[in-house]
Amino acid sequence: MEKKQFQAESKRLLEMMVHSIYSQKEIFLRELISNASDAIDKIYYKALTDDSISFNKDDYFIRIEPDKENRTLTIKDTGIGMNQDELEENLGTIAKSGSLAFKKEIEMEDGQEIIGQFGVGFYSSFMVADKVTVYTRALHNEEGYKWESDGQDGYTIEPFNKADIGTEIIIHLKENTEDENYDEFLEEYRLKSLIKKYSDFIRYPIKMDVTEKQPKSDNEDELIDVTEEQTINSMVPIWRKNKQELKDEDYNSFYQEKHFGFDQPLSHLHVSVDGMVRFQSILYIPEQLPFNYYSQDFEKGLELYSNGVLIMEKCADLLPDYFSFVRGIVDSEDLSLNISREILQQDRQVKLIAKNIEKKISNHLKSLLKNDREKYEKFFDAFGRQLKYGVYSDFGANKDKLQDLLLFYSSKEKKLVSLKEYVERMPEEQEHIYYATGESHERIEKLPQTEMVKDKGFEILYFTDEVDEFAIKMLLNYDEKEFKSVSSGDLNLEDEETKKEAEKQKEEHKDLLLEMKEHLGDKVKDVKLSTRLKSHPVCLSAEGDVSIEMEKVLRQMPD
């Protein structure tokens, strides 16, 4: 039998697992149960959509079997199983979502500490095992396979006669050491509490033999040990539960179980709609920007279930781009199981759900802004940019929905303000909303053009992000107040007398200005006398709609 080597990246991850000094080794169970549940999701879906597969709900379950004598823990499922290629691909390489993301994360931080704050998939079993054996048989396959590895030098695959479709994973527990005790993973009560803690919402029964003291049938006073198979998890999916019954921890652990992010969610909302369309949804606002958020690999979307059956892992049509950071699930009894990706886009129900969800997220963010400013600013720090892109894209079609979610840094209190707050505290004589663009707040502070506006007691919004000004150009105005750059030519802040004086000076120095302009040649369009400078001798100013900063960005864009 041939021994195959793990892919280089897998090896590295495995090494970290094997030598992990990480205290929460227990999460391996959550990972294996979650894989088992995914595998059952897949066969369950097939059974419901393919008449050739007979279907009985009781056939789908997960079983946990501790064996104290042999020091093994077995996780069995009746899921879709794996064929030889799949075994090779899935367990020999880090190919899949959770693990791949983890791989990138360790490349970035190379931190032992971060292991296990989140899902690390199948390989996490090597935190507790010195050998893992997998028996599996895929749907529509006559033959089964045995996969085995010590997590160090490669793995073996060989044919194996397996009676049923599904997968059985046998964890051979590591020897106990002075500091580490692995026997706890053979204890009934410990396993029970781990299942309750991490996998209570798994929708298939997680069964285990449990021994309890019970009164003897012929003598009620005498207690004897009775062993029977019990279902340990509550099986009600979290989104079907009553909000009142759930604690923040429940939502957080569901976020973790689903690998929605490596962080803790910043905020969640639990939605249950029973109107034109019926659906339940749990949505999360992450705390941190996903590491691949601005890269090609980032995929937006929500998990989509049709009456409890997973039909799509990332349904992009449920989220507008400007809310692409939202993670979560949607379950609707009004969706057909057989819905394809193409049909989904046009599906009336899906559109209704998407619209509803967008509204819910928007309202949630608004209430966060109103009621928990600190949290909102944290959110905005991570994802505000996406909202500004949202204002700018689609020719401003969404600006009305998004403008009240924007924050900008302002000269007044050197803090973030919303446009509403800005307008509400404008002095009566102020007509416009002023902004200045620049690389940093410090640079903007030094701009000669800001002086006069500030002297008038007007507040200035500081635009340091390239997208800021583009977004504002799309808005044009807010609450009927026009946005004006402090460097635009026509600020019109001077009084009549100054204006007259300026006209006079312009005449007087006509020749000098002309000469300067000729001297500077193509570098400038015009040289003018300015009335708005105080402590600076000269400033650059843009004419028309495009500011100097915007021009810079536009020039960098490919044609």
- Binding-site sequence positions for ATP: 31, 35, 77, 82, 90, 96-98, 117-122, 167, 341
- 407 Rama sector, left if φ>0, alpha if ψ -120 to 50, beta otherwise: beta
Neighbours of 13 (CB within 10 A): 24
Q: What angle do CA 73, 79, 85 make, to 5 degrees?
A: 95
Token pair listed for 272: 């249950």
User: 45 vs 389, which CB is nearer to Mg ion?
Assistant: 45
Q: Is 199 in the site for Mg ion (CB under 5 A)?
A: no
Selected from 81, 121, 261, 438, the binder of Mg ion by CB under 5 A is: 121
User: 96 vs 473, which CB is nearer to ligand ADP?
Assistant: 96
Instruction: Return the closest-CA partner of residue 116 out of 55, 108, 126, 45.
Output: 126
Q: Is 7 in the site for ligand ADP (CB under 6 A)?
A: no
353-359 long-range contacts (CB < 8 A, ≥24 apart) are 353/277, 353/279, 353/318, 354/317, 354/318, 354/319, 354/320, 356/271, 356/273, 356/277, 356/279, 357/271, 357/281, 357/283, 357/302, 357/318, 357/319, 357/330, 358/319, 358/320, 358/323, 358/401
Selected from 13, 29, 39, 238, the binder of ligand ADP by CB under 6 A is: 39
Q: Is 79 in the site for ligand ADP (CB under 6 A)?
A: yes
Task: Tell me how far, at minimum, the Cβ of 313 lies from Mg ion, in Å.
Answer: 12
Selected from 47, 73, 82, 391, the binder of ligand ADP by CB under 6 A is: 82
Q: Is 77 in the site for ligand ADP (CB under 6 A)?
A: yes
User: 118 vs 239, which CB is nearer to Mg ion?
Assistant: 118
Segment near ligand ADP (CB under 6 A); pick from 78-86, 222-230, 314-322, 339-347: 78-86
Selected from 83, 90, 356, 398, the binder of ligand ADP by CB under 6 A is: 90
User: 291 vs 389, which CB is nearer to ligand ADP?
Assistant: 291
Cα dihedral across residues 146, 71, 150, 12: positive or negative: positive
DSSP states of 140-158 as a string?
A: T-S-EEEEEE-SSS-EEEE
Q: Is 384 in the site for ligand ADP (CB under 6 A)?
A: no
Q: Is 547 in the site for ligand ADP (CB under 6 A)?
A: no
Question: What is the DSSP secondary structure assignment for residue 430, as one 8-state letter?
Answer: -
Q: How far apart are CA 198 and CA 25, in angstroms?
A: 13
358 binds, among Mg ion, ligand ADP, none (CB under 5 to 8 A by kind): none
Output the known binding site.
31, 35, 77, 82, 90, 96-98, 117-122, 167, 341
Segment near ligand ADP (CB under 6 A); pick from 77-85, 188-196, 327-335, 421-429: 77-85
User: 41 vs 549, which CB is nearer to Mg ion?
Assistant: 41
Evaluate whether 193 touches 179 at the Cβ level (below 8 Å).
no
Selected from 10, 20, 35, 398, the binder of Mg ion by CB under 5 A is: 35
User: 35 vs 125, which CB is nearer to Mg ion?
Assistant: 35
Q: Is 116 in the site for Mg ion (CB under 5 A)?
A: no
Evaluate whether 198 touches 229 at the Cβ level (below 8 Å).
no
User: 79 vs 144, which CB is nearer to ligand ADP?
Assistant: 79
Q: Is 97 in the site for ligand ADP (CB under 6 A)?
A: yes
Q: Is 122 in the site for ligand ADP (CB under 6 A)?
A: yes
User: 79 vs 384, which CB is nearer to ligand ADP?
Assistant: 79
Q: Is 459 in the site for ligand ADP (CB under 6 A)?
A: no
Instruction: Return the closest-CA partner of residue 132 out of 174, 69, 77.
Output: 174
Q: What angle do CA 123, 126, 132 make, to 5 degrees?
A: 90
Task: Tell me how far, at minimum, the Cβ of 38 lies from Mg ion, in Å.
Answer: 7
Count of residues interacting with Mg ion (CB under 5 A): 2
Evaluate whether 241 touches 103 at the Cβ level (below 8 Å).
no
Q: How far apart are CA 133 and CA 229, in angstroms?
A: 24
Helix (H, G, I), strand (E, B) or coil at 377: helix
Binding site for ligand ADP (CB under 6 A): 31, 35-36, 39, 77, 79-82, 90-91, 96-99, 121-122, 167
